[in-house]
Structure 1
C-alpha cells in the first residue's frame, strides 16, 4: 500500500485545522437537537414511551445506506470551485437546515418521523466527508490532534444546542402548549439550530482549500469506474482490514449505548428522576375544567423536566469539550496511546450511565453526564485516529463511510429490540435503557483487547504556525 502522499503533506496551523473542522459545530447542533428533543416531540404528539426507539429507526437505516455511498462518491468527486468533500458539506447542510426548521411544526407522528429521516440523511451527507477531510489534509503525525480538535468543536455544539430550549425559555419564550402541540421554545431552538448548521458549514466551505488530484488522468479513469459502485462498495466491505473490523465491534457497543440514551433519556429521567412523566391526553376529559387544569399542570411539569433533561445532557458535551481540549494539548506534543485512552474513557462513561439509576437528586445528573462526556470525547476521536492509520488514503472516504456502518447497525438493533426488551424484562421502565447503555460501554471497553495500537505512529508535533 502506497502511503507516500500522506507522509509528504505539510503540517497545518491550529487555525487551518480549526476552520476545516468548524462545520462540525453545525452538524452537532443538528445531532444534539435531534438526540435531546426528538423523543420529546414524539411524546408531545402522542407516542407511547416504549414505541420511541422504533420511531427513531429511519435515522440509522438512512445512515446505513447513505454513508458508504457518499464516502464512495466523495472519493471520486472533484469540483473546480468546491473541491472533493465540500460539495457534500453544503448540500447536506441546506437540506438539514430545512428539516430543522419544519420539524417542531409537525402536526402528526408520521410527519415528524418523516422529517427525522430527511434530517438524519442530510446530516449524514454533511458529516461523513468531514472525517475523510481530516485524513485528506493532515499528515499521520497530526491526525490524532485533528480528530481531537473536531471533538472539541463537537463538544461545544453539544453543550450549547442541548441547552437551547431551556435558554430560550429563560428569555421569555413559553415551554408549554396545548395537547399535541410542540412548545414555542422548542420551535425557536430548532430554528436557531438550522441557522447555526448552515452558517458553520459555510465557514469551512469558504476557508478551506482542498488539493486537486495528483494524477488527473488516473483520477478520471477511477471516476469512470463508479458506474459499478455497488459491487465496489461490497468488495471493500468484504475486504476491510482486520483492525477496522475489531474497532468496529467496539463501535457497535459504543453506539448502541448512545442511541439508547438519545431515544430514551427524556422518558427515563423525567419519570425516574424528576417524577414528572409525560401525561396521556386521552386520560383527561378536556371538556371538564378540573381535568383540563390537571392536564395543564402535569404537562407543565413534564415540559419543565424535559427542558432540564436536555440541559443536563448538555453537560456531556461540556465534559467532552474539556476532555478533548486536554487530549488536544497532549496530542500536539507527543503520541497518544489511543487504545488505552479509549478503554478508560468507555469504562468511565459506562459508570456514568449506571449511576443515573441511583442519583439522589436531579442535580446529581451533572456528574453522571460529565462521565458520559468522557466516553463521548473518545468515541468521536480515538476510533477514527486508529482507523486512519490502517486504510488506503485514496479510499479514505469509502472506508470512513463503511466504518460508520458500525455506528448505524447498533442503532437499528436498539430501535427494533429496545422497546420489546423493556416491556418483556423490565416492566416497561425506561430507566433500564440507560442501565443497558452503561453495560454496553463497558462491554465495548473489554472488546478493545482485540484492537492493536499502531506501532509506527509518527512523533506528534504541534501544528505549524
Structure 2
C-alpha cells in the first residue's frame, strides 16, 4: 500500500484535469475546437517527458535513489501548476486574453509534470518488486487509481464553495488546493516507506544520454514479443480512451443542456448543472473502476474461474467498444451516465494488466540473462550508458515504461486533431 499510495494522489490531480479542465477552459471563453488542441499537451508531454525521465532516472546515481529525485521534482512542479490553474483569473488581473493564455500554458506544464511523476512511480514499482509480485503490485496501483478517481470526481460533484470556503473562492481553486495537499501527503508516504538502492557513480562519455535516447527508438524491434504486442494494442485502444477521458464530463453536460434548454435557467446555470451531472457520471465511472480493480484480480488467482490476463484485457476492450458505439443512441443523461459507468470496468483493466505484463516480462527476461548471479549496479550503469549489451539497456524499467507511454500518446495526437476538426465543423454549422 505504501509503495502505491502516491498513485492515488497523482490520479486525484489527473481527475481534476481531465474531469474539469475542459469545462473550466470553456468557462474562460475558449472555443471547444481550441480546447481539443489544448489537450495535445497530454500526448506531447508523454511523447517527450516519460521516455526522457525514464532514461535519466535509470542512470541516476543520487544517494536518495534512482526515482526519488524525479518524483520530488515532479511533485513540486505539479503543485505549482495546479496553483496557477486555480488562481489564473486573480494572477491575470481580470484580463480575459491573458487569463486564457495563462490557463493553457499552466495545463501544458501540468501535463509535463504529471507525466514525469507517473513514469517515476511506475518505474519504482518495477524496481522494488520481484517478478512474482509484479501482478500484485500493479493490481494495487490500479486500486489506488480507482481511489484517486473516486475522490477527485466526488469532490468535483460536491458544492465545495459552500463546504470549504476557506480553501478558495471558486470551485476550481478549492479542487486544486485539495489536489495539491493530497499529492504532497501521499508522495511523502511512498518516499518515506519505500527503500531504494542507490547506484554508485560511474564515469560517462559525452553524448551517452543522447545515444541511449536515439537507440531507444531505432531498435524497438529487439524488444520481447510480449511487450511489442502490448504496445500495438495500446496504439489502437488509446484512440478511444483519449476523448472519453477528456470529454466524458462535457458529453453528459451537453445531454443535460439539450434536455433542459427550454426551461427558465440561463445558459451559464444550465452549463453549471450539466457539468455537475457530468461529474456525477464520472464519479459513477470511478466507483465501478475501483470495484473492478478489487474484484477482477481475484479471477486471475482463482483455481476455479481462472481467466488469463490477455483474455481479460480482450473482454474489457470489447466492452469499451460496445459502450462507445451505444453513445450514438444515447439521448438522456441517465443512459449516457450508465455507458460512462460501464467503461469503469475496462478502465480498471487498462490500468492494471498492461503494466503487470510489462513488469513481469522485464523481471523474467532480466533474470534469464543473469542466471548465475544478479547484475551488479556498476554493470547496470555500463549497460544503460550504451557500453554493455543492448538488451540489458532496453530492460531498464524506466526506459521500457517510457516507450510504453509513447505507444499510448501517439494515437492521442490523432484523436485530438480529429476531435478539434469535428468540433470546428459543428461550430461552423451552428
TM-score band, normalised by the shorter chain? 0.7 to 0.9
Kept in 1: contact 2:125–2:137 (CA 8 A): yes
Is 1:390 matched with 2:361?
yes
Given candidates 60, 70, 79, the residue that maps to 1:97 is 79
1:358 — aligned with what? 329
In 2 relative to 1, CA 205–173 (structure 1 residues): closer, same or farther, beyond 3 Å?
closer
Contact 1:148 1:381 in 2 (8 A): yes
- How many Å separate the matches in 2 of 1:319 and 1:166? 16
Aligned to 2:341: 370
Q: Which structure 1 residue ranges, 5 or more long, are not aligned?
A: 1-17, 175-181, 279-293, 431-465
Q: Answer whether contact 2:255 2:333 (CA < 8 A) is retained.
A: no
Specify the alignment match of 1:158 in structure 2. Answer: 149
Displacement of 1:336 in angstroms is: 5.5
Match status 1:306 vs 2:289: no
Q: Distance in 1 between matches of 2:402 and 2:335?
A: 37
Closer, same or farther: CA 149–49 of 1 in aligned 2, 3 Å: same
Task: Identify the residue that residue 369 of structure 2 maps to in structure 1.
Answer: none
Q: Distance in 1 between matches of 2:208 and 2:15?
A: 36
Separation in structure 2 between the aligned mates of residue 212 and residue 246 of structure 1, nearest angstrom: 32
1:198 aligned onto 2:184 = yes
1:230 matched residue in structure 2: 210
Q: Which structure has the highest helix share of the two?
A: 2
Q: Is the contact between residue 13 and residue 183 of structure 2 (CA under 8 Å) also seen in structure 1?
A: yes
| Structure 2 alignment gaps of length 5 or more | 90-98, 367-394
Query: Which stretch of the first structure deviates more once superposed, 324-333 or 139-148?
Result: 324-333
In the other structure, the counterpart of 2:388 is none
One of 99, 110, 115 as aligned partner of 2:106 = 115
Match of 1:167 in 2: 158
Instruction: Report how far residue 419 of structure 1 moved.
Output: 1.6
Is the Cα–Cα contact under 8 Å of residues 15 and 153 in structure 2 kept in the other structure?
Answer: yes
What is the aligned partner in structure 2 of residue 271 from structure 1?
A: 254
Q: CA offset at residue 171 of structure 1?
A: 4.3
Residues 263 and 327 of structure 1: is their aligned pair in 2 closer, same or farther, counting only changes over 3 Å?
Answer: closer
Distance 1:337 1:210 in 2: 32
Is 1:317 equivalent to 2:286 in the alignment?
Answer: yes
Q: TM-score, normalised by structure 2?
A: 0.81
Alpha-carbon distance change, 256 to 429 in structure 1, aligned in 2, over 3 angstroms: farther
The count of aligned residue pairs is: 382
- Per-residue CA deviations over 1:170-197 (Å, capped at 9, x if unaligned) read 84479xxxxxxx9812221121111111
Change (3 A) 1:70 1:325: same
Change (3 A) 1:45 1:170: closer
- For 1:410 and 1:360, locate their aligned partners in 2 and report how far apart those are by CA, in whole Å: 28
Q: C-alpha separation between the residues in 1 aligned to 2:61 and 2:280?
A: 41
Match of 2:391 in 1: none
Which residue number in structure 1 is paired with residue 135 of structure 2?
144
In the aligned structure 1, how far is the partner of 2:428 from the partner of 2:251?
10
Stretch deviating more after TM superposition (378-387 or 27-36) = 378-387
